[in-house]
Structure 1
Amino acid sequence: MEQQSITFESVQDSYKLLQNLGASPHLMQHVKLVGEAAELLILQFQQLDISFDSDWIRLGVVFHDVGKILYPSELIKKGNEHETAGEILLLSHGIDPKIARCCRSHGQWQQIECDFEELVVALADNLWKGKRNTELENKVLTKVANMCHQDYWNIFIGLDSGFEKIAAQGDLRLSRSITT
């Protein structure tokens, strides 16, 4: 028998599940800070009047690093063991496979085909701390240009400055990050 996927009424509900799964205060703060960057991206994309699932992006942000519950050292050191482990953990708790896949896609967007929402989660996970990633940004910009049926460079002009504003606040968000 197929397991029914869990649904969430709000981002707060997803935070509660994350805490129930054993998320540390550090992980909770991280997803909230990434969420701040994601909200700014969502606002930019809404101004373009394109169709996308902002609620999915919010859930993806909350759950993208859930595997760090099992690999807590990856909260402070580079590593990707949390990616597959997170997807498996979420699937075992009845989370929609599309959302669970975000655990992998936020870090493997170069190797796997990602939809727009997955790329936005990956982008927020970079920009929150002030990091710009040209390759990732180009993928997002190309998708947006296709969604808007507009020229890439017209889209670039508006969105690149928005990405820079988000990244420019990275030091402030990092100063609110828990480091231990």
Structure 2
Amino acid sequence: MPRLDLLARALDAPADLPLRPLPEAVGALLGELAAPPRLAAHLRLVHDVAYELIQWLAEFQPALVFDREAVLFGAATHDIGKVVHTAELEGPGSAHEPAGRELLLAHGFTPGEARFAATHGSWGEPAASVEELLVSAADKVWKGKRVTDLEDLLLDHLVRVSAPGTERWEAYLGLDELLARLAEGADARLAFQAAYPVHV
């Protein structure tokens, strides 16, 4: 099957698990770049998990103020630099991070939108925003990976806006339950991603 047909399927095909579509501008960019189908599938999965995270926050932590659209855009584009560094779709590497930022800027996206491509792997930086932490968390838990240090940083944000008298452990229980539930779907997500090739 031609690469663009596989890319279109990765972006739009129904799956055993219901997946939300990527933002229209992101889908168009992936098509323009003739992105590897596996990259499109991965971005769709992480975007979907990010959506679940922000839906939970809206319901259970409504006092937390953050840019929901930025989180969704960041999740949908965090690995866009792997269009340039395709070897990093199959193995480790961080060259895609600055490359992704530059690629997005070159295609007219704002520095605020492009930052997630460069920061999703450096969530431990002192200046990391809650939006960046959410994108990083989505990028870990989609495959069932739990990262205590990252979750603690996210929890710090939640505790700051919790009702007075709320103990840290109370905020932790809610976040942990959500992340555990998301992690349970990892096998189905990994199977969806693996169904799409890197090279066509």
Output the TM-score relative to the length of structure 2. 0.80
Report the alpha carbon displacement of residue 166 of structure 1 after superposing the two structures with TM: 0.3
Unaligned runs of 5+ in 1: 1-9
Distance (Å, rounded) in 2 between the aligned partners of 1:151 and 1:14: 40
Aligned to 1:31: 43
| Structure number, greater radius of gyration | 2
Aligned to 1:158: 174
Q: RMSD across aligned C-alpha pairs, in angstroms?
A: 1.6
Report the alpha carbon displacement of residue 25 of structure 1 after superposing the two structures with TM: 1.0
After superposition, the C-alpha distances for 1:28-75 in whole angstroms (9 at most, x for unaligned) are 100111112111111111112122211111100111101000000101
Residue identity matched to 2:107: H
Which of 75, 80, 86 aligns to 2:89? It is: 75
Aligned to 2:29: 17
8 Å contact from structure 1 (residues 71, 82) kept in 2: yes
Report the alpha carbon displacement of residue 13 of structure 1 after superposing the two structures with TM: 2.4
Instruction: Give identity over the alignment, percent.
Output: 35
Distance (Å, rounded) in 2 between the aligned partners of 1:61 and 1:23: 16
Matched, 1:41 2:53: yes
Output the TM-score relative to the length of structure 1. 0.89
After superposition, the C-alpha distances for 1:58-103 in whole angstroms (9 at most, x for unaligned) are 1001111010000001011011000011111111222110111111
8 Å contact from structure 1 (residues 38, 120) kept in 2: yes
- Greater shift, 102-111 or 66-75, is seen at 102-111
Aligned to 1:147: 161
Matched, 1:167 2:195: no
Report the alpha carbon displacement of residue 112 of structure 1 after superposing the two structures with TM: 5.4
Which structure 1 residue ranges, 4+ long, deviate > 6 Å from structure 2? Answer: none
Unaligned runs of 5+ in 2: 1-21
